[in-house]
Chain A
Amino acid sequence: MFKAFSVLLGAGLVFILDYRSLKANKKWDRRVYIVIFAISLGVWMLYIFNVQFPYVIQVVEKIYNPIFDSFNQKLEQKQSFRVH
């Protein structure tokens, strides 16, 4: 809980300081900023509360492994410290 509170406090501080620099920008710019900031904060809160996401490499592996599986197996046979 302390971690979550610290992140919220930090995010609030960053938002106040950073949002000031956007005052001269268009309304659209500020809206997009707020949305992306909210997404960023949301993802951070999920991380703080240990919500499990699939890891990026697992997703990439699922996409590419069916195509490159035979190549990877061939490459793996060439590894110097392979467990026999």
Chain B
Amino acid sequence: MIEKGKIDARQFTILVVMYTLGTSIIAIPSTTASYAQENAWITVLLTSLIGLLIVFLLNQVNKINHHKNIFELFEYVFGKWVGKGITVFFLLFVFIVAGKNLRQIGDFMTTHVLVETPIQVIMLIFVLTSLYGVKLGLEVISRTGEIFFPYAFFSLVLMIIFVAPQAEFKNIQPIMVNNTEGAFLTIFPTLGTPYFELVVFLAILPYVNRIGPGKKSFYIGVGIGSLLLFAVTLMSLLVLGPDFSARNVYPTYILGKKISGVQFLERIEILVAIAWFFTIFFKITINFYVLSLGMSHLFNLKTTKVLSTPLAFLLIIAGLYLAPNLIAYQNFLAHDLAPFAGTFGILLPFILILTARLRKINKKKKKRRKNKRF
């Protein structure tokens, strides 16, 4: 194994929560409200349930061999060369997802916070921080997660609590009367971020010190993350209304602006934004780590650190060449991300399980034939 570190189930849960929230906390409320309107919260709820089924599927993939990460599984199931070929495509997927995350945070910062700063500088700052994490390894990333998780979690929970008095239930009424079809159709694009992307955790799951609790923590992590996503989307609809949530690219940030309690508790949206910077940082770092790990497997390198520096600079280019502008990017999120991510997040695990089972059956048959001969 290239990675020697071990993490515990609690650390794994935190990583999964951070990853689930990551960029989805920016993307989901707006995308779902655009197509499902007042029923967007139902879409997110249904998507979360499907998300748990995806975790079940991913855990089944891990069942093929608990000790092998996804790159080793590719070679174990498909053979060395086909496995390496699939690894190349999977790494391309992870590379694009990591670049996408970088671009998302870059776009947000340049449109709302640091308007005059070039996007390249913001991307460089984020990628250098992630690079430091990747160089230090999985254990350090997980321990850092433990430190930042309470801040990210409680600031989101507090945001929801503080904006709750402004909620108006008429914004989500009538429930499932108009645009019912839209609510169901939107489930597919919503699955694209983050549920189809969860497949990257198959590269980390074998490093959880006890595999049973590790699998359970996968469910718990996605459950907690989904619950927060649901709460943020619901609050966005209740406070801002479906139309405003749909028209605004970052309704969660606008929701933070609505926090108004005691006189000194005004304009603290940036504190909320910083909280989800942490979640996005972890999402970028996990993707970057999996990319480095995969490259090390592909080229039979000694550690994950070897290629991390040149990959960091390639990631910035991936982010810059992702989309010509924010509108095109939003369009990509709604239309093409889900099929693209679904190919690797659903189809590939299915094929992996199916091939592994068929090979197992074949092996048993061969064994029986041999036993009959002797």
Contact = CB atoms under 8 A, between A and B. Distances in A.
Interface stretch (B212-220, B275-283, B322-330): B322-330
Contacts of B311: 36, 40
Contact of A25 (B246, B306, B313): B306
Which of B321, B324, B340 has the most chain A CB atoms closer than 10 A to its own CB?
A: B321
B96 interface: yes
Contact of A60 (B182, B246, B301, B332): B332
Contacts of B186: 75, 78
A71 B322 CA distance: 23
A47 interface: yes
A57 B100 CA distance: 10
Interface in A55-84: 55-57, 60-61, 63-65, 67-68, 71-72, 74-75, 78-81
A75 B181 CA distance: 9
A1 interface: no
B172 to A, nearest CB: 14
A57 B329 contact: yes
B300 interface: yes
A75 B322 contact: no
A32 B321 contact: no
Interface string B236-274: 000000110011000000000000000000000000000
Contacts of B309: 14, 18, 37
Interface string B65-99: 00000000000000000000000000000001001
B175 interface: no
B106 to A, nearest CB: 14
A5 interface: no
Contacts of A25: 301-303, 306
Which of B35, B36, B306, B329 has the most chain A CB atoms closer than 10 A to its own CB?
A: B306
B28 to A, nearest CB: 15
Nearest to A77: B182
Given A74-B185, A80-B33, A80-B246, A56 B321 contact: yes
B322 A56 contact: yes
Contacts, number: 115
B37 A64 contact: no
Interface residues of B, number: 49
A26 B284 CA distance: 29
B231 interface: no
A56 B185 CA distance: 25
Contact of A55 (B243, B302, B323, B340): B323
B368 to A, nearest CB: 41
B188 interface: yes
Interface in A1-36: 11, 14, 18, 21-22, 25-26, 28-29, 32-33, 36
A21 B332 CA distance: 39
A75 B242 CA distance: 17
Nearest to B334: A75
Contacts of A78: 35-36, 179, 181-182, 185-186
A17 B206 CA distance: 32
Contacts of B313: 11, 14, 40-41, 44
Interface of A: 11, 14, 18, 21-22, 25-26, 28-29, 32-33, 36-37, 39-41, 43-44, 47, 53, 55-57, 60-61, 63-65, 67-68, 71-72, 74-75, 78-81
5 contacts: A21-B305, A39-B314, A40-B310, A64-B339, A80-B243
Interface of B: 33-37, 96, 99, 179, 181-182, 185-186, 188-189, 242-243, 246-247, 295, 299-303, 305-307, 309-311, 313-314, 317-318, 320-324, 328-329, 331-332, 334-337, 339-340
Given A25-B306, A55-B328, A57-B332, 11 more contacts: A14-B313, A21-B305, A25-B301, A32-B307, A40-B311, A40-B317, A56-B323, A60-B96, A78-B35, A78-B36, A81-B247
